[in-house]
């Protein structure tokens, strides 16, 4: 396996907060990029996400390690005039700069692309917004639940008939957007290899949400007629529905017509193949609720292990509905390096989720814990060429956080 990582030598300044921007930087770090996390003196608010009421609660800042592993942290007050030379040197040093600060605040801080592009003509400036750069709501704040899920149409479609929209899984839209932002960055780095020029790249939670919902949104563009919302007791197809095994496990069944005869025989109901209610497409469509009841009875008679064996043996497409505690014990995750060891994070947190991109014959960087607030401030500033006396002055002026041991 190759020892050098793909992005060894690539330098990233991560000015973003919360999830999507930092997670794009994590993917770069997985492949060897040197990522500097720039935080306010009090730290990125996402450091405390493990204590937010609607998040899973833990003494371990699990979400912080997920979005910021492998990074170095400097704590910098961007509002302080004394921070300007640090920002300028970071921009000149970087290959990639990631920012999701609202544009009005960016202007006040002098961090718009036009403010800093002259400092580094090879810079890839990666901009993440909630609703896009333009339009009447470009300045609105956005989180994944509002921009990615609600505004894109996804939230309206991920529910059963007659039920209100539900609360989606936190961070799911952010992490999908992170992959999109990473792709934009990598595209710009490839362009730079060919032209020598940097780029301004951008995406938004809204754009990524619409892309995720694009089959249905494209249908709307074509003025398509949409079927009724899913109702498992009156489905469009009983062969594509959700069923529950005897042990209470729900599973998704996607049964194609060519598999039906073999399945009917395997479950001990070959009579279904001769049942007049299900004999033609027309009669079948009229009797989907009855067939659903038949399948409910069949699948409710045995536990999931039994149906897993039967369906897998017939090559039927199905998926067991698993909770997080079950997912982490799925052998597929470790067999495919989806869950990997995380060094030095904590007594209870010894593993993390790897980014979903794999390049064969290229090793990813071994995951290590996310940094403390400002843990590497002195180290990074020294690498940028600041003398120790200047670093001390910046600390005295309140532009940077005091040493970690002083801040504790």
| C-beta of residue 374 within 8 angstroms of C-beta of residue 39 | yes
Q: Is the dihedral of CA 145, 134, 189, 373 positive or negative?
A: negative
> Which pairing describes strands 351-353 and 339-341: parallel, antiparallel, or unpaired?
antiparallel
Nearest to 249 by CA among 317, 308, 314, 171: 308
Nearest to 380 by CA among 21, 93, 84, 44: 93
**Residue 276 to residue 78: CA distance in whole angstroms:** 73
Where are any strands of DSSP class E within 23-181?
Answer: 34-39, 71-75, 96-99, 124-129
Q: Are both 87 and 24 inside the same structural domain?
A: yes
Q: Are both 377 and 247 inside the same structural domain?
A: no
Q: Are both 366 and 254 inside the same structural domain?
A: no
Domain extent, residue 60, equals 11-212+338-407
Give start and end residues of each alpha helix (H) in 125-227: 154-157, 172-195, 205-212, 214-221
Q: What is the mean pLDDT for each group of 10 consecutive residues in the chain (408 residues)? A: 79 97 98 98 94 90 96 97 97 98 94 97 97 93 94 94 91 97 98 98 98 97 94 93 97 92 94 91 91 96 97 96 95 95 91 95 94 97 97 96 54
Treating both helix axes as pointing N-terminal to C-terminal, what angle do 20-30 and 172-195 enclose, rounded to 10 degrees? 50
* The residue count for the chain: 408
State the pLDDT at residue 311.
97
Q: Are both 364 and 321 inside the same structural domain?
A: no
Q: Coil, strand or helix: which one is 156?
A: helix
Q: What CATH number does residue 321 fall under?
A: 3.30.1540.10
| C-beta of residue 269 within 8 angstroms of C-beta of residue 263 | no
Answer whether residue 223 is part of any domain.
no
Answer whether residue 157 is part of any domain.
yes
Question: Which residue(s) pair with 36 in the sheet?
Answer: 13, 72
Number of domains in the chain: 2
DSSP 237-271: -TTEEEEE-TTS-EEEEE--GGGHHHHHHHTT-GG
| Token output for 339 | 């869950």
Q: Are both 164 and 296 inside the same structural domain?
A: no
> Which pairing describes strands 11-14 and 96-99: parallel, antiparallel, or unpaired?
parallel
Q: Are both 342 and 323 inside the same structural domain?
A: no
Question: Which residue(s) pair with 200 in the sheet?
Answer: 125
Q: Are both 40 and 61 inside the same structural domain?
A: yes
Q: What CATH number does residue 398 fall under?
A: 3.40.50.10540
Q: Are both 87 and 117 inside the same structural domain?
A: yes
DSSP label at residue 146:
I
Nearest to 392 by CA among 407, 370, 377, 408: 377
Answer whether residue 333 is part of any domain.
no
Q: Are both 126 and 199 inside the same structural domain?
A: yes
> Tokens 């209610």 label which residue?
277
Neighbours of 398 (CB within 10 A): 14
Answer whether residue 4 is part of any domain.
no
Q: Are both 49 and 141 inside the same structural domain?
A: yes
Q: Are both 61 and 203 inside the same structural domain?
A: yes
State the pLDDT at residue 194.
98
Answer whether residue 228 is part of any domain.
no
Task: Count the helix, strand and coil residues of the chain and give each as a percent rounded to the nearest 5.
Answer: 45, 15, 40
State the pLDDT at residue 402.
67
Name the domain boundary from 293, 327, 361. Answer: 327
Answer whether residue 217 is part of any domain.
no
Nearest to 28 by CA among 13, 50, 49: 13
Answer whether residue 173 is part of any domain.
yes
Q: Coil, strand or helix: which one is 190?
A: helix
Answer whether residue 220 is part of any domain.
no
| Token output for 290 | 């009855």
Q: Are both 267 and 318 inside the same structural domain?
A: yes
Name the domain boundary from 327, 361, 376. Answer: 327
Tell me, yes or no, if the pTM score tops 0.85.
yes
Name the domain boundary from 303, 327, 351. Answer: 327
């Amino acid at each position: 396996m190759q020892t050098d990582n793909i992005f060894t030598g690539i330098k990233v300044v991560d000015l973003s907060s919360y999830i999507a921007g930092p997670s794009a930087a994590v993917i770069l770090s997985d492949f060897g990029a040197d990522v500097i996390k720039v935080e306010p003196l009090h730290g990125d608010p996402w450091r405390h996400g493990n204590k937010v009421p609607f998040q899973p609660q833990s003494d371990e800042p699990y979400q912080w390690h997920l979005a910021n592993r492998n990074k170095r942290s400097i704590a910098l007050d961007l509002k302080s005039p004394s921070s300007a030379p640090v920002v300028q040197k970071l921009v000149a040093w970087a290959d990639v700069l990631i920012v999701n600060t609202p544009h009005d605040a960016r202007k006040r801080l002098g961090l718009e692309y036009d403010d800093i592009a002259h400092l580094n003509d090879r810079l890839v400036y990666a901009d993440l917004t909630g609703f896009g750069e333009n339009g009447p709501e470009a300045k609105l704040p956005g989180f994944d639940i509002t921009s990615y899920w609600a505004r894109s149409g996804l939230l309206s479609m991920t529910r059963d008939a007659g039920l209100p929209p539900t609360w989606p899984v936190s961070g799911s839209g952010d992490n999908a957007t992170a992959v999109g932002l990473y792709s934009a960055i990598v595209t710009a780095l490839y362009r730079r290899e060919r032209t020598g020029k940097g780029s301004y790249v951008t995406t938004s939670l809204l754009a990524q949400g619409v892309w995720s919902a694009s089959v249905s949104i494209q249908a709307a563009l074509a003025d398509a007629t949409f079927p009724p919302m899913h109702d498992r007791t009156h489905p469009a197809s009983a062969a594509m529905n959700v069923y529950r095994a005897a042990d209470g496990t729900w599973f998704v069944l996607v049964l194609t017509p060519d598999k039906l005869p073999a399945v009917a025989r395997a479950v001990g109901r070959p009579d279904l193949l001769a049942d007049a209610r299900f004999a033609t497409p027309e009669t079948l469509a009229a009797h989907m609720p009855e067939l659903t009841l038949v399948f409910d009875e069949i699948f409710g008679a045995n536990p999931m292990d039994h149906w897993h064996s039967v369906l897998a043996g017939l090559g039927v497409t199905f998926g067991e509905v698993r909770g997080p505690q079950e997912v982490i014990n799925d052998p597929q995750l470790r067999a495919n390096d989806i869950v990997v060891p995380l060094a030095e994070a904590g007594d209870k947190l010894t593993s993390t989720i790897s980014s979903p991109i794999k390049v064969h014959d290229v090793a990813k960087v071994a995951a290590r814990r996310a940094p403390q607030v400002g843990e590497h401030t002195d180290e990074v500033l020294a690498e940028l060429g600041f003398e120790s006396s200047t670093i001390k002055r910046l600390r005295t002026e309140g532009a940077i956080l005091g040493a970690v041991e002083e801040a504790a």
